[in-house]
């Protein structure tokens, strides 16, 4: 069943984190943040919504890094119930797709909870002061692939954030598979 995150809570502060990445390093929020902002994406390996736009996620991440926006992808799904979202498959995905940003593993799901992540993909775009400015969709593709000529909602919003420090007033929420939470 599809999940939709809430609208952007402007200037909400980016929670700190320190997580292991598929490249063997460990990254903290402030090590990833760029001079013009930070994009934190909650994704996973198995979700059809993510898989439909994975190449666009990689493209937009690379393009935003070129604008001084730091980018990280985080997988928080329970790998016990969803083995495709385990650390080894994450590393395979990052290598196969040529991720230009760290792919972080939130095994205890504390970062997803701190951010209030709801679905995959779920995008959190912050300005240089690490205040939230974008909580919208990548584009209108949803779980349908092959639509390459759609407006780049995420990229354009974060480009504006990088240039002005403010996100667009109107944002369309992302939609995707719910985060796979561990049993209590």
CB atoms within 10 A of CB 94: 21
Domain that holds residue 23: 2-178
Residue 114 lies inside a defined structural domain of this protein: yes
- Does some domain include residue 184? no
Cα gap 178→77, rounded to integer Å: 9
**Structural domains counted in the chain:** 1
Burial class (CB in 10 A: 0-12, 13-18, 19+), 25: exposed
**Residue 134 β-bridge partners:** 125
Looking at residue 157, what is its pLDDT?
Answer: 97
* Bridge partner residues of 103 (DSSP): 73
The three-state secondary structure class of 32 is helix
The pair of three-digit structure tokens given for residue 157, joined into one six-digit string: 């919003």
Q: What pLDDT sits at residue 69?
A: 98
Report if residue 62 sits inside a domain.
yes
What number is the average pLDDT over the span 24-33?
Answer: 98
pTM score: 0.95
H or E element, residue 151? none
**183 occurs within a structural domain:** no
CATH number at residue 91: 3.40.30.10
Q: What's the pLDDT tens digit per position in 137-184?
A: 999 876 666 566 788 999 999 999 999 999 999 999 999 999 999 997
């Amino acid at each position: 069943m599809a999940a939709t995150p809430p609208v952007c809570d402007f200037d909400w502060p980016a929670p700190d984190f320190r997580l292991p990445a598929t490249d063997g390093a460990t990254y903290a929020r402030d090590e990833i943040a760029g001079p013009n902002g930070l994009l934190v994406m909650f994704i996973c390996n198995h979700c059809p919504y993510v898989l439909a736009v994975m190449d666009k996620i990689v493209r937009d991440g690379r393009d935003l890094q070129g604008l001084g926006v730091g980018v990280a992808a985080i997988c928080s799904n329970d790998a016990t119930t969803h083995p495709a979202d385990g650390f080894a498959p994450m590393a395979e995905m990052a290598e196969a797709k040529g991720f230009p940003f760290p792919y972080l593993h939130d095994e205890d799901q504390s970062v997803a909870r701190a951010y209030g992540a709801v679905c995959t993909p779920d995008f959190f775009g912050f300005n240089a002061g690490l205040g939230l400015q974008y909580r919208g969709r990548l584009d209108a593709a949803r779980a349908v692939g092959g639509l390459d000529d759609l407006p780049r909602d995420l990229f354009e919003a974060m480009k504006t954030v990088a240039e002005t420090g403010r996100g667009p007033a109107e944002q369309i929420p992302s939609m995707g598979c719910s985060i796979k939470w561990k049993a209590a």
